[in-house]
Structure 1
């Protein structure tokens, strides 16, 4: 992990030189870690076994099953089953999955209206923690994350057909993104009714967001009853089985919940005037409000909050580190960000044991 940690620092420095050079180097270099990182428990072994034992089954919901005990949506087995025709090596699959997801993510970020310098820095800041989780330990979360970003990118532009296709693709692989997709669908649907113009969907309306937030909170609190109406989809049994997380409180301190409940909303309020002039403003507001709602409702269930808020928390983590550092040091914010990266081993001791460094 020491090598991976210093790789993070190097890639952040590279991100300062432009998106194209950073993205090419990142695509070429990151797969080496997917091959070399040690298996340290978590879900890695389960996903490896599931990939190596996936097989074609005509009677399966989406034609593929796995001989492993992993519980996953039918779309995940379809995806891994198709890739297994190309390679039977799990780590090669991780590299392919990484490349595909990153391409989708870059496309989505650019459609959000993010400047290239922001895109490269946000991605660089997701390498130390978020990418380690979704590309190595829990790869089922990665491709649908890219699909969810694209869903939002096309939805806010009024391209509803592509938005629906990406939403279906995301939830068929991992249902944890479903609540965010519903939240966004309700918000932009109401905005379309108000504005009656697809080109005006990106206008931020706080009353509409507040109303949709109340609806989302109600759905979250009544999620068991809501899920009972989804028995027509192929992954219904799996989604229904996941309701067990509602009755299990995950104890422990979750740093990102404090970020979602305090830091992100506060920084959004402080920077509101400046951020409101940017093309990605509605995206940032949507992410901040959704992240706050999920982490507030499931404050005592850290596992569920972490899963449901993953799409917003991951984006905001990188975005607001860049924004916070620029608020302090302007465009010469590199030293501030590097300092934050330097203290990551103290903030994320489970990922970067201090004993490895001394």
Structure 2
């Protein structure tokens, strides 16, 4: 990971001159790194064995695999299919899967400023990209499907959004909670307030506070959750993972400060700022307003999860990943441009890149700093 670290520094410095070039070099560089980086020492070998175990069968769903990981059926099918197409080359799969996600993100950011699209990928580079494409591949395409759904909700295309969510949680069920909250929030706010700013803000804060209380006492509702999850193709796996609520490792991570304090504060300031700014992301005032309200909701829900599981970093990190990822890739650069001096954008990026091996020691050096 040392070479990747210096690569991220190069990209951050290059962004001072051209964000487009930074984006292009990021895509090319990540594609190459994923094709040459060695075993992580964690679950890499199990993901690789599952991929290489793919085979063709005569009946539906036509592709299966000998799985060595506890993964959702759609991810296993996707692995088996890509194993057949890519001749069981796992590193090529990691690189190709990355390009698939870039392709999905391009459609997700349709009608959004190209600068925001570039910044999204550049800010994901030092931490999120190696996490979801190298250490946990099934988190990658599922995350981008939920991101696609998030953007489709903003445009009012809720049918396509829900289909994308169903695909996303069928690949990785860790996005189930935030997906359910996304669906509920969109329809509830559309019905109750037509996404009026002040009333929507109040509703979101009430929902987020209620979510914290619900998660704290969730063990008392485990039987209800089992019934609610029964509709999923991966119901058995999702139900089995409910034990995380009881057995998650206790501790504390400094990065939860981002989720609990920094991101909610930035999102709230954007809510206030939208009254002064004509446009933030989209080409119409209405879409911009829906975007900032939904972004505020997702960030508040991430904060609620981290508060509820403040001493269970593993569980909090899993359940709030979507909030954390768009907090880093969308909220942070947008806030620097719209709220603070946009000249701070590149220096903050460089600082984030430089500090990444310290803040995320497990990612870069297999060292658990307890963060």
Output the TM-score relative to the length of structure 1.
Answer: 0.87
- Cα deviations by residue, 1:162-207 (Å, 9 ceiling, x for unpaired): 0111011101101111111111111111122235xxxx55856123
**210, 213, 230: which one aligns with 2:208:** 213
Q: TM-score, normalised by structure 2?
A: 0.84
1:36 aligns with 36
Task: Encode CA deviations 1:180-238: one digit per residue, 9 max, x unaligned.
Answer: 1111111111122235xxxx558561232134335544654436232323223221111
Work out the CA distance in 2 between the residues paired with 1:218 and 1:314: 24
Distance 1:163 1:44 in 2: 31
Q: Is 1:95 aligned to residue 106 of structure 2? A: no
Structure 2: how far apart are the matches of 1:156 and 1:227?
30
Whether the 8 Å contact between 2:11 and 2:22 is mirrored in structure 1 is yes
Which residue is 1:150 aligned to? 148
Correspondence 1:250 to 2:262 = no
Judge which range, 345-354 or 23-32, deviates more: 345-354
Q: 2:313 aligns with which of 302, 312, 319?
A: 302
Please list the CA deviations of residues 37-56 of structure 1 after superposition, one character each: whole Å capped at 9, or x if unmatched. Answer: 22121221111111111234
Query: Aligned in 2, Cα 1:3/1:161: closer, same or farther, shift over 3 Å?
Result: same
Separation (CA, whole Å) in 2 of partners of 1:228 and 1:137: 32
State how many pairs are aligned: 348
Asked if 1 retains the 8 angstrom alpha-carbon contact of 2:268 and 2:296, the reply is no
Residues 301/295 of structure 1: CA separation in 2 closer, same or farther (3 Å cut): same
The CA distance in 1 between the partners of 2:35 and 2:21, in whole Å, is 23
Alignment of 1:150-189 (within 5 A): 150-189=148-187
Deviation of 1:332 after TM superposition, in Å, equals: 5.0
1:288 corresponds in structure 2 to 299
Residue 356 of structure 2 is aligned to residue 344 of structure 1: yes
* Match of residue 7 from structure 1: 7
Query: Cα RMSD over matched residues?
Result: 2.7
Checking the alignment, whether the CA contact within 8 Å between 1:190 and 1:208 is kept in structure 2 is no
Contact kept in structure 2, 1:105 and 1:146, CA below 8 Å: yes
Gaps of 5+ in 2: 281-287
Gaps of 5+ in 1: none
